[in-house]
Structure 1
Amino acid sequence: MTDERDAELEVHPLSASLRYEIRVGDELAGFTEFVDSGEQRIFFHTEVDERFAGRGLASTLIRTALDDATSRGRRIVPICPFVAGFLDKHLEFVEYVDAVTPAAHRTVLQFRT
C-alpha cells in the first residue's frame, strides 16, 4: 500500500477558473485564487485541506504559481496573507511585487460579485 505522503504532487494552473491547484495523487489538496488586472496578478485567497497540512504543499503551490505568473510577465499583488508571508521569506520575487492598493481590493471585490 502506498502512503499518501509518497503520492505524486502536481500543480496545475487553471486559467478558466483563475486559480492554481495542487493535487496529491488524484486528490485536490489545495488551491490559490487570483484575478488579473492589467499586468498584475492579484492573489487573494489560498487554501490547503487540513488532511495535507504540515507537508509544505502551500509553499510548493505558491512558488509554482509565482514562477508561472512572473514567467508570463505578470506583477504580483499579494492580498492573500499566505502569499504575502511567502514573499517576505523569498526575496527572489521582490522585483516582481507591487503594493496592495485599494484599487487591487476593488478589483477582487468586483471579480467575486
Structure 2
Amino acid sequence: MTEQHTDRTGAPVSIALDRTRAVSAYTVSTQDGALAGRADFVDPPGAPGERVFFHTEVAPEFGGRGLAGLLVREALADAVRGNLTVVPVCPLFAAHLKKHGEEYTAGGGRFRRPRPADLALVEETVRGGGDA
C-alpha cells in the first residue's frame, strides 16, 4: 500500500505501509525518498482484526507540514479498508479520534479505548527490539 498526498506546502509526499522492521508502521516520505515520519503499530496476536497504534513521530526538519495528520488519517482510512478496530494508545491517534470519532465511525471505522493488555503488548513489543 502506497498512497500519494500533498502536504501543507504543496509538496508531494508518499505514505506507505512498512512491515519490514520489528515494529510495523505507516511511513511518510518526501518526493526525493527521504523518510519524514512514521506511525508505529502492532497487530495483537490474540485479537485478530485489531490494530494498536502507539507512537507517531515526524522528524523536526519536516515539522509544520501537516505530515503527522496525514499519517493518522491514512492509517485510519487503511484500517477501515481492512475492517480493523483501531486501539489508540498513541496520544495523537487518541486526540484525533476524540475530535473526529463520530465522523470516523460514520465512515465505517471502529475503535475502542486501550486496555491494560494493550499497554502491556506495546511495552513488550518495544522492549523486544522494536524501532520505536
Cα RMSD for the two superposed structures: 1.4
- Unaligned regions of 5+ residues in structure 2, if any? 1-8
Residue of 80, 87, 104 corresponding to 1:93: 104
Quick check: which one's helix share is greater?
A: 1
Q: 2:28 aligns with which of 12, 18, 22?
A: 22
2:53 alignment partner in structure 1: 43
| Residues paired across the two proteins, number | 109
Identity of aligned residues (%): 36
SS of the residue corresponding to residue 55 of structure 2 reads strand
The answer for unaligned runs of 5 or more in structure 1 is none
Please report the TM-score for the alignment, with normalisation by the length of structure 2. 0.76
- Take 2:76 and 2:50, find their aligned partners in 1: how far apart are those partners? 12
SS state at 1:90 partner: helix
Runs of 4+ residues deviating >6 angstroms: none
